[in-house]
Amino acid sequence: MFVLKTQAADFHHVHIRADDTFRSASWYAENMAGEQLQVANFHGVRFGRKLMLFAPKERPGPDGSMAPSVLKTSEGTSLDHLGFSFKDFESKLISLQLAGAKVMGSPKPLKSGGNSLIAFVEDPWGQKVAVLSDPEIEGLHHAYIASSQPQKAITWFSESFGGTVEDFNGNQELPSIRYGDFWVVVSESHGEPEPNMFSMIDHLGFHVSDVDKKMSTLKDVNVLKPAQGFYWWQSIPGMPGPKNGFVENSSKVLIEVMQLR
């Protein structure tokens, strides 16, 4: 197994678009081992230090572009789906069905000859979700990226935000990078995936110590929003506050880079 460790940024959140943000946050909190909370004007779900934040489907893009009138799932985009891990895999599949999820086929081994299983479900709004059992992580487990150049995608995340690069569960066909208790998993796509912006899984967020410096050093990105203050802190003269910026990387994944202190 290839392993490379570098100094990591903190994975902070994944942002979801929804027709009903409170209802969606409630469902994920109740069924995916999370804690529901409010973060500024967002409904959210906390998984330890990780967050899922829910925004209205009509929210403009970070570059000011208008959102499409119809919200589509992220399946088939560059940020295809999220994965969630549970200790009791079989019971969780049953309880998810009772909660309105649809199981998509039979569970399969994570790798050939392995004992760990993975299954896919659709949440009540049609978004594909992976369900697996990882004894080290409960709840939000990974983001799954589709790329025509998987190794290039992993190298970009490693060079941009650090992390531990290794094959996912020993599967060499899934180059991955780990940020504490969260994985970014990359799979080779057939053709070029569509950008994930404006789909249900809108973007990934990373926390850094200096957002201006980080934004200036990121390579192979399209800057959609330069680093600037956000929320109400920016309206208080002389008081420093959080900053964020948005980029789309070469894999067409939307990334928020943020500094909270």
- Going by pLDDT thresholds of 50, 70 and 90, the confidence category of residue 2 is very low
Residues 6+ apart with CB under 8 A from 84: 32, 33, 129, 130, 131, 132, 139, 140, 141
Task: Specify the pLDDT at position 129.
Answer: 98
Q: What's the pLDDT band for 153 if we cut at 50, 70, 90?
A: very high
Position 235 scores a pLDDT of: 55
Determine the distance from the C-alpha atom of residue 144 to the mean position of all C-alpha atoms in its chain, rounded to a whole number.
Answer: 8
Q: Alpha-carbon distance 159 to 175, whole Å?
A: 15
pLDDT tens profile 40-89: 889 999 999 999 999 999 999 999 999 999 999 999 999 999 999 999 99
The yes-or-no verdict on residue 8 having pLDDT over 90 is no
User: Which domains, and CATH codes, for the chain?
Assistant: 4-259 (3.10.180.10)
Contact at 8 Å (CB) between 186 and 175?
yes
What's at 231, amino acid-wise?
Y
Give the position of tokens 């504490």: 180
- Tokens 């902070």, residue located: 12
Residue 33 pLDDT class (50, 70, 90 cuts): very high
Q: What is the pLDDT of residue 171?
A: 74
The pLDDT tens digits of the residues spanning 212-224 come to 999 999 999 999 9
Confidence of residue 3 (pLDDT cuts 50, 70, 90): very low
- Number of other CB atoms surrounding residue 228 within 10 Å: 11
What are the pLDDT digits (tens) for 89-100? 999 999 999 999
Mean pLDDT of 195-221: 96
